[in-house]
């Protein structure tokens, strides 16, 4: 229901902050005959920091050939100014694999939003270490692959996942996948991985976080979506949200509220990622939303 | 405590959205020897809409002379591209008059933030149609002017306000000033006027809004800061916030919650206005916050 | 996943506020051999107002016979003290009909929560004035009844709805049902009807509210769940929530945010209604959540 | 501006959850000739948990003598049913000492609310380990006592604080007092101590939390009010709130947002404590707000 605009490219740039960078990029886009329809910039420091830019520009009648030329022009500029960059066509659907264990709330919420075109992406595969959700997934016409994982079989399991997905997907979403992905896997999959988990103020380490939160009597429950890194739950944060609870709410209800938050926060993070609104810098994100 | 960066200008532009606008503005800023440290743009439409830009740029060792030249350069560009624009120096304190009636919560909150340098502005005068708050205001070393207003004396009262302020202040804040400013006044004062008021879902028209909200059993209380226009409470919205209430809260408590909201929402709106983050377009705002 | 406790009754009382009411009710519950596990009370005034009480009490090994006796005891007390009351068994699933038009987000969210036992109710039927959502509904094993409504056929359509549902359901949920239910229908259906709709600060009357909200540049989008009354969207409010938007968000995105809010707000309202936490008094609600 | 009702007592009870407790308490209140105007109860478990009750009741023409008798009657009941209890008269102003270091935002917010009768309490003294805020405090007609604290003089400093306050105040508020109160002090002061501090998701341990939060790119800033215990920042939570931030906000701005949150969260916690709405149980709170 929310269609990305046609013939619209999105350029994302990270580079050292030097005089004239915006002018140079803007001039390059103008020379393409394109019109910038939205743009945001950010510098970490007034002088000599890192500079970030996201620009959406409209190129009426965009063809593949034309796109190649655009890429070549930007590449030339990038070499000159030490820019890291990426260019995406917003109307092109990104390909995603969703990893899940047994809890279906995040998975189904994503499938549903895709089904109703609220998330502009193709779910290539759902991968699970449990067979439970096959039927729910296949209902949406999405392939479901069960890859069991035990402590002993983890390397083979990750190898199967890599064989299945590497090179074929633009990003991976961990929609309550209760296994830690190894640094080795993250390297080899070669694309961003988005994860979602509960958060509290203060944080609770260890098992049964909702029971811990209940014993401490927290008044807010939270959820955080972030990019997965080797340090579990320590990757760059994309989005967070909290919701109010009271002493009347037992651990089950806290978890229920947590699920509602996780659905909404993950959907926002995926949406912004799809629209190339998120740039990772060191261990944090710039989110041009 | 929050100091604006030194030697930093803020350029705000509104113009028809045409190819190359960003490039032209960026090139002009680069030619000044300035470095863009933050910038945001927005277009109302992919093609042929209205384009808005706010750019903060750093000009080390900025002098008045230099600033004049910067203004001249931008003015030349503006003529060429039909740009409306304004340029401010962020470290320069804006001059403000605060209008108030009897309720002091918004007024004192602003004076306090100014006192602790959380709002970078000079309060030139507090104008009130009641004498009650003189002592509180003068404690902060701010002049207090009592200008009574009755139905009959309104024209003279507005004339006195104009005589006192026109040309001397950069903007006016109505911090619970319970008089309607006429369209004539708004024209003649010649600067933006920010107002704050309670808001509900749904809205309640007429007297005693908190009592009405209580009778209806609303679950959220809100506050809205907006630019004043001749249509009372119908001007472009700058900021809004809501807070949760329950059936246990009587009209007095709803009003208390409302006051807390009004303080925070008005302070945010004033802060963004001070930093030139707000652009009015038709009856709405672009807020580059 | 959230199971209501077994053998637990919920008593809800509204009565004139007189000395000794709580003592009398508590004594009656104690005499039943029951233990009050949660209770809340509220009076509109310190003296001579209206008094509201909700008490959950545990009756181990509760039988139908026993329940009859409990009801008889409470009825006797109620006559004595002019109490309006209702008693429900929380583990007993309530029966609900859902009305919908074409927008599926609220409907599917409810069906899904029921499917995963997050809402403890039986969806008896989905009634729609359009045929579009039949397949989605039947997937959940829920009957779908298409009852078209035109201006001319409205009386017959409402008659068909009454024939289908009156006496068979405990309440009705309008999950984006874009028809106004007449006062006559509300009288004859004889059970509460919960509705959900978007809300703004300020409110926007008439067609295309999200387009209006966009033109006005609102910074918050809201949703309100309320009991339906003859006055459209004017019934007692059960729950409200808002979410932040910016100038970058077009009417489509505002509507998307609105849908997310509507799902969450409606699910909360239905859950509280299921747990008998909501009492209507004049045009407002007491929500013991 | 928010006056507590006259002649109104508040009874707060914690006891083992047994059949008939509510009935017994309610009967006792009824026998006093009092009318319960608001009441809330909560049990930790359906059976054999801990039971909490807060009841406000109206006793027209309440005298000291009468109050003594009320206390005696409740004490008798309490012995019988193993109840811990406290009884307060809501219109009686509680006496409070505020501890502060150099940051004035929480302190001044409290003094201001007291000045405008939004917090119904008497500030007996402000104690600070720095002399900076004397003038601001004395402006409100409140005594300011400077008690310097160094590592070596901490025992004597705490002794001076105890000499000054013990027995004379109903509770203490740490309004950004940057010293840890020892367990010994907390024992000897003999009254509740409320503290406020920043919170994040996740938590950041150590110095410069806002700088850490900024480096991690958090999207929410929070504040928590809790009762002080020997374990720093680990006491029972009274209230929490969060506010949204973005990558554009530097550490200074995060701290500014944090100050606004701290003011509001601390004022709510103090207000609920004043109204005897908070019960501590193990390491959490029951808040009947």
φ, ψ for residue C119 (rounded to 5)? -120, 120
**Structure-block tokens of residue D142:** 């409140």
B8-16 and A8-16 strand pairing = unpaired
Query: Among candidates C107, C128, C131, C105, which has minimal Cα distance to C119?
Result: C107
φ, ψ for residue A23 (rounded to 5)? -60, -45
Q: Residue A40 above 60 pLDDT?
A: yes
Domains in chain D, ordered, with CATH? 8-89 (3.30.70.260), 94-287 (3.40.50.170)
Query: Among candidates B29, B23, B36, B18, which has minimal Cα distance to B81?
Result: B18
Q: Is the peptide bond before B202 cis (omega within 30 degrees of 0)?
A: yes
pLDDT at site A37: 79
Looking at every residue in chain C, the average pLDDT score rounds to 92
Catalytic residue among D233, D252, D260, D276: D233
Distance (Å, rounded) from C-alpha B108 to C-alpha C63?
63
Which segment of B183-187, D114-118, D271-275 scores lowest on mean pLDDT? D114-118
Continuous segment of H or E residues that includes residue A216: helix A209-216
The answer to whether residues C243 and C260 touch, using CB atoms and an 8 Å cutoff, is yes
- In whole angstroms, how far apart are CA C52 and each of A118, C8, C13, C41? 43, 20, 6, 5
pLDDT band at A18 (very low <50, low <70, confident <90, very high): confident
Q: Residue B174 above 80 pLDDT?
A: yes
User: For B106-135, what is each residue's pLDDT tens digit?
Assistant: 999 999 999 988 899 999 999 999 999 999
Region C72-88: mean pLDDT is 94
pTM equals 0.92
pLDDT at site D17: 85
Distance (Å, rounded) from C-alpha D251 to C-alpha C112?
42
pLDDT at site D207: 82
User: For C20-79, what is each residue's pLDDT tens digit?
Assistant: 888 888 888 888 888 887 788 888 887 788 999 999 988 888 888 989 998 999 999 999
pLDDT at site B201: 78
pLDDT band at A22 (very low <50, low <70, confident <90, very high): confident
Distance (Å, rounded) from C-alpha A195 to C-alpha A186?
12
**Structure-block tokens of residue B197:** 């008021």
Query: Among candidates B184, B182, B176, which has minimal Cα distance to B128?
Result: B176
Which one is predicted more confidently, D194 or C209? Answer: D194
User: For B207-266, what is each residue's pLDDT tens digit?
Assistant: 888 898 899 899 999 999 999 998 867 899 999 999 999 998 989 989 999 999 999 999
Q: What is residue A106's three-state secondary structure?
A: helix
Continuous segment of H or E residues that includes residue C234: none
Judged on CB neighbours under 10 Å (0-12, 13-18, 19+), A64 is: exposed
pLDDT at site B47: 73
Distance (Å, rounded) from C-alpha A283 to C-alpha A33?
36
Q: Residue D75 above 80 pLDDT?
A: yes
C233 noted as active-site residue: yes
Which one is predicted more confidently, D35 or A79? Answer: A79
Q: What is residue C262's three-state secondary structure?
A: helix
- Residues of B in Cβ contact (< 8 Å) with C239: 219
Region D184-201: mean pLDDT is 93
pLDDT band at B17 (very low <50, low <70, confident <90, very high): confident
Continuous segment of H or E residues that includes residue A232: none
Q: What is residue D187's three-state secondary structure?
A: helix
Chain C interface with B: residues with Cβ < 8 Å:
42, 199-203, 214-220, 222, 224, 233, 236-242, 246-248, 282-287
Chain C interface with D: residues with Cβ < 8 Å:
5, 8, 17-27, 29-30, 33-43, 45-47, 49, 55, 58, 60, 244
Distance (Å, rounded) from C-alpha A122 to C-alpha C166?
44
Q: What share of chain C is helix, strand, coil (3-state, %, to 5)?
A: 35, 30, 35
Region D99-108: mean pLDDT is 96
Looking at every residue in chain B, the average pLDDT score rounds to 92
B171-174 and B193-200 strand pairing = parallel
- In whole angstroms, how far apart are CA D212 and each of A48, D130, D204, D233? 21, 27, 7, 18
Query: Among candidates B214, A274, C39, A149, which has minimal Cα distance to D52?
Result: C39
Distance (Å, rounded) from C-alpha C212 to C-alpha B287?
18
D263: nearest CA partner in chain B: B260
ipTM here: 0.91
pLDDT band at B1 (very low <50, low <70, confident <90, very high): low
Distance (Å, rounded) from C-alpha D150 to C-alpha D230?
19
Continuous segment of H or E residues that includes residue A186: helix A183-189
DSSP alpha helix (H) spans, chain D: 21-31, 64-81, 105-115, 134-138, 154-165, 183-189, 209-216, 251-274
pLDDT at site D230: 86
User: For A127-164, what is each residue's pLDDT tens digit?
Assistant: 999 999 999 999 999 999 999 999 999 999 999 999 99
Distance (Å, rounded) from C-alpha A111 to C-alpha C139?
15
How far apart are the CA of C247 and the nearest CA of chain B, in angstroms? 5
Continuous segment of H or E residues that includes residue A103: none
Continuous segment of H or E residues that includes residue B270: helix B251-274
Distance (Å, rounded) from C-alpha B97 to C-alpha A115?
54
pLDDT at site D2: 62
- In whole angstroms, how far apart are CA D181 and each of A78, D178, D185, D193? 57, 9, 6, 10
A-B CB pairs within 8 A amount to 94
Region D51-70: mean pLDDT is 89
DSSP alpha helix (H) spans, chain C: 21-31, 64-81, 105-115, 134-138, 154-165, 183-189, 209-216, 251-274
Contacts of D186 (CB under 8 A, 6+ apart): D193, D228, D229, D230
Contact call for A112 and C116, based on CB within 8 A: no
pLDDT band at D141 (very low <50, low <70, confident <90, very high): very high
Which one is predicted more confidently, B6 or C232? Answer: B6
Contact call for B26 and A26, based on CB within 8 A: yes
pLDDT at site C1: 53
Q: Residue A206 above 80 pLDDT?
A: no
User: For C128-177, what is each residue's pLDDT tens digit?
Assistant: 999 999 999 999 999 999 999 999 999 999 999 999 998 999 999 999 99
**Structure-block tokens of residue B162:** 């104009």
pLDDT at site A27: 87
Nearest by CB: A201 against D217, D222, D285: D222
């Amino acid at each position: 229901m929310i269609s990305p605009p046609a013939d619209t490219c999105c350029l994302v740039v990270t580079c050292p902050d030097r005089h004239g960078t915006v002018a140079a990029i803007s001039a390059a886009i103008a020379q393409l005959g394109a019109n910038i329809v939205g743009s945001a910039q950010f510098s970490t420091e007034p002088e000599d920091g890192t500079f970030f830019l996201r620009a959406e520009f409209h190129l009426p009648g965009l063809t593949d050939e034309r796109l190649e030329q655009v890429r070549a022009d930007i590449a030339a500029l990038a070499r000159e100014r030490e820019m890291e960059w990426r260019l995406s066509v917003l109307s092109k659907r990104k390909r995603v694999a969703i990893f899940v264990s047994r809890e279906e709330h995040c998975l189904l919420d994503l499938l549903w939003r895709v089904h109703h075109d609220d998330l502009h992406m193709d779910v290539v595969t759902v991968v699970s270490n449990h067979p439970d959700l096959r039927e729910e997934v296949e209902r949406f016409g999405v392939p479901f692959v069960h890859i069991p994982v035990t402590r002993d079989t983890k390397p083979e399991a990750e190898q199967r996942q890599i064989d299945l997905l590497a090179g074929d997907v633009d990003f991976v979403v961990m929609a309550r996948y209760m296994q830690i992905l190894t640094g080795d896997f993250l390297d080899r999959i070669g694309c961003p991985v988005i994860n979602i988990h509960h958060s509290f103020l203060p944080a609770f380490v260890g098992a049964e976080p909702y029971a811990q939160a209940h014993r401490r009597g927290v008044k807010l429950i939270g959820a955080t979506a972030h990019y997965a890194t080797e340090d579990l739950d320590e990757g760059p944060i994309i989005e967070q949200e909290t919701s109010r609870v009271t002493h009347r709410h037992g651990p089950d209800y806290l978890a229920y509220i947590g699920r509602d938050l996780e659905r909404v926060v993950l959907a926002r993070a995926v949406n912004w990622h799809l629209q190339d609104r998120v740039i990772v810098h060191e261990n944090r994100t710039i989110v041009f939303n």
